[in-house]
């Protein structure tokens, strides 16, 4: 029985490492909360290259981020668009499924989202999913019940 448990644990670790993700984060050169979000993602195992960009509106438009879902930084991770302060666990969930989605977004800069921590304050927010056609749906609500 212990061998089976060890095998299951090993397979779980292999699956987690197989999900290693890398990408590029585009951000305004002066935005500090973007750096905090990158740190959050790197602590969760993501490998990210940061590219400061002076015209973030063009980056968002080129990547198809719906106008009402825009935030301060935009990333492309393993082919998906990640807009704003999306928690690493939601990006991992997206990468682990084959949903046909274009990406995830957290609109604005809600207090308590990764990179926007302010003590123990937590504004409710929703991680939204979107597809290439601009259709949207709730992916996860925060704080979680």
**DSSP code per residue over 106-133:** --S--TTSTT---TT----EEEEEE-TT
The whole-model pTM stands at 0.85
The helix/strand/coil state of 141 is: strand
The pLDDT score that the predictor gives to residue 18 is 42
> Which pLDDT tens digit goes with each residue over 90-104?
999 999 997 889 999
Mean pLDDT of 106-132: 96
The pLDDT score that the predictor gives to residue 6 is 34
The pLDDT score that the predictor gives to residue 19 is 53
How high does pLDDT run on average in the chain?
A: 88
Reply yes or no: is the peptide bond before residue 139 cis, omega within 30 of 0: no
> Which pLDDT tens digit goes with each residue over 4-17?
333 333 334 434 44
The pLDDT score that the predictor gives to residue 99 is 83
């Amino acid at each position: 029985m212990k061998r089976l448990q060890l095998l299951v644990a090993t397979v779980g670790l292999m699956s987690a490492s197989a999900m290693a993700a890398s990408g590029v984060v585009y951000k305004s050169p002066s935005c500090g909360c973007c750096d905090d979000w990158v740190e959050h993602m790197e602590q969760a195992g993501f490998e990210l290259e940061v590219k400061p960009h002076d015209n973030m509106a063009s980056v968002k438009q080129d990547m198809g981020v719906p106008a009402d879902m825009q935030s301060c930084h935009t990333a492309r991770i393993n082919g998906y668009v990640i807009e704003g302060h999306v928690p690493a666990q939601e990006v991992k969930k997206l990468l682990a499924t084959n949903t046909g989605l274009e990406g995830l977004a957290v609109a604005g800069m809600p207090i308590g989202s990764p990179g926007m921590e302010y003590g123990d304050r937590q504004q409710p927010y929703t991680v939204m999913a979107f597809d290439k056609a601009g259709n949207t749906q709730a992916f996860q609500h925060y704080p979680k019940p």
